[in-house]
Every structure is written in C-alpha cells, then in structure tokens.
Amino acid sequence: MHAHALVRSVPLLPRNLGISVLHVYRSVISPLYGDVCKYYPSCSAYAVGAVQQHGLIAGTARTAARLARCHPWAAGGVDDVPSSRHFRHKLTRHGFVVPMRKD
C-alpha cells in the first residue's frame, strides 16, 4: 500500500471500527432476537449503512433516530438510509469503507 493511500485511510478508521462492532452485533446478538423488526432493512442493517454512508457520528445519530421511530405503534415499512452526496469512497465485500483508488 502506498503511503498516500494509507494517509487517506486514517480518517476512515473510526467509521470502520464502528462497522466492525456492528458486524459482531449482527452475527452474535441479532440472531437471538429473530426477525422482529418492523422496518426493512432491519435496524442493525440500517446502522451499518448509515455508518458507511455518513460516518460514525452522523451514522450513529441517524441510527438513534431510526430506533426512536421503532415502537409498537409504528407502521414500519421500507426505510432506506439516505445516500450522502459527499460519499466518495468504495466498499469492500465485507462492507468496510476504503478510499477510491487513484491510479
């Protein structure tokens, strides 16, 4: 990896650490609940997408707002993460955010 690519990756570390935590939650804890989410994608999948698109802080805030909307009287339905106009990265096959290659 070139030094410049490494430097461009450093700001993405908090985002990718958050995604790592969410992956662990989705593989260990989420299956214990079963399919109970009223929304599609599920709240944990929404959280991954929100952190990928908007970063750790803004993605966490969007996820908290989504969780606040999830209550017994909610209608549910499709609730996709809004795309960020400023998202200029690439996703790995495991969902981690990496800088676009500049060859």
Q: What is the pLDDT of residue 17?
A: 97
Residue 97 and residue 8 in contact, taking contact as beta carbons nearer than 8 Å: no
Domain spans, the chain: 2-99
Write down the pLDDT at residue 22: 97
pLDDT tens by residue, 57-77: 999 999 999 999 988 898 889
pLDDT band at residue 21 under the 50/70/90 scheme: very high
- pTM, two decimals, is 0.89
Report how far residue 54's alpha carbon sits from residue 62's, in angstroms, rounded to the nearest whole number.
9
Structure tokens at 47: 């959280």
Going by pLDDT thresholds of 50, 70 and 90, the confidence category of residue 80 is: very high
| Residue given tokens 């609940």 in the structure block | 33
DSSP string over 21-72: HHHHIIIIIHHHH-S--SEES-HHHHHHHHHHHH-HHHHHHHHHHHHHH-ST
